[in-house]
Copies of this chain bind each other. A is one copy, B any other.
């Protein structure tokens, strides 16, 4: 885990648009500014931000540690998970460019975070951030929106974990992950067209996200492949969704 000199957040903080039609990330790229803050506000934020990178498979948040920081992912993918003492794990979510993590923590982190690919992070001290936040009402508003959106995703996932079969879970995951990837990269695309999706996580990670075992995930993926719904490539770490309509019917009958 390397730390770089603090810099302006201008180029570093990335806001993905969680539920708008526009692609905020692309706006950021194109316009070079953060969607909801003006220059003075960005400068203010940059003063309490630290740019850092985290190597693949390194842990940057540990469950049980005091929650001193929160992070904005500027590059790469990460996983968030909760562990039980006997080793059982539940992945509560995956992070991508634009995602925040560490805001929802009270005292200590209730989860761990690990990089799935080399990661770019913008780190904030929670205490300093909390005292700066009242001066940035637009940001506070955005964070409320983001928290609400994450709550919706968490409730969707409760339905997946509590009530869906193994195949339904896989189909739900693939569709949701594909949708996130497309929103982050090229706005909205024809929902019926085949979609190529990178899966930087292992089968075990997918299993821990879906409340299954590695074997069951592997079997369910094989079944989807046999049925002509998906096509695997790159050693199983890239899949093409061939028929999203049928996949969607499988995901939520």
Stretch of A135-143, A218-226, A235-243 contacting B (4+ beta carbons < 8 Å)? A135-143
Stretch of A37-45, A101-109, A188-196 contacting B (4+ beta carbons < 8 Å)? A101-109
> Which of B19, B155, B211 is in CB contact (< 8 Å) with A92?
B155
Kindly state the separation between the CA atoms of A88 and B169 in the bound complex, as whole angstroms: 14
**Main SS of the interface on chain A?**
helix
Q: Which residue of B lies closest to A169 (CB)?
A: B162
Residue among A150, A151, A211 with most chain B CB within 10 A: A151
A162 and B104 form a contact (CB under 8 A): no
Kindly state the separation between the CA atoms of A90 and B157 in the bound complex, as whole angstroms: 10
Q: Which residue of B lies closest to A20 (CB)?
A: B106
Closest CB in chain B relative to A246 CB, distance in Å: 16
Kindly state the separation between the CA atoms of A139 and B118 in the bound complex, as whole angstroms: 38
* Residues on the B chain within 8 Å of A159, using CB: 82, 84, 90, 92
B148 and A85 form a contact (CB under 8 A): no
Residue among A19, A89, A92, A210 with most chain B CB within 10 A: A92
Give the A interface residue count (CB, 8 A).
44
* Residues on the B chain within 8 Å of A144, using CB: 140, 143-144, 147
* Residues on the B chain within 8 Å of A137, using CB: 134, 137, 140
Q: Which of A88-118 contact B (CB under 8 A)?
A: 88-90, 92, 103-106, 110-111
Kindly state the separation between the CA atoms of A137 and B133 in the bound complex, as whole angstroms: 11
A158 and B156 form a contact (CB under 8 A): no
Closest CB in chain B relative to A229 CB, distance in Å: 20
* Residues on the B chain within 8 Å of A92, using CB: 155, 158-159
Residue among A152, A210, A252 with most chain B CB within 10 A: A152
* Residues on the B chain within 8 Å of A30, using CB: none
A positions within 8 Å CB-CB of B: 19, 82, 84-86, 88-90, 92, 103-106, 110-111, 133-134, 137, 140-141, 143-144, 147-152, 154-159, 161-164, 208-211, 252-253
Known: A147-B151, A158-B161. 6 other contacts (CB 8 A): A104-B147, A110-B156, A134-B137, A143-B144, A144-B147, A162-B208
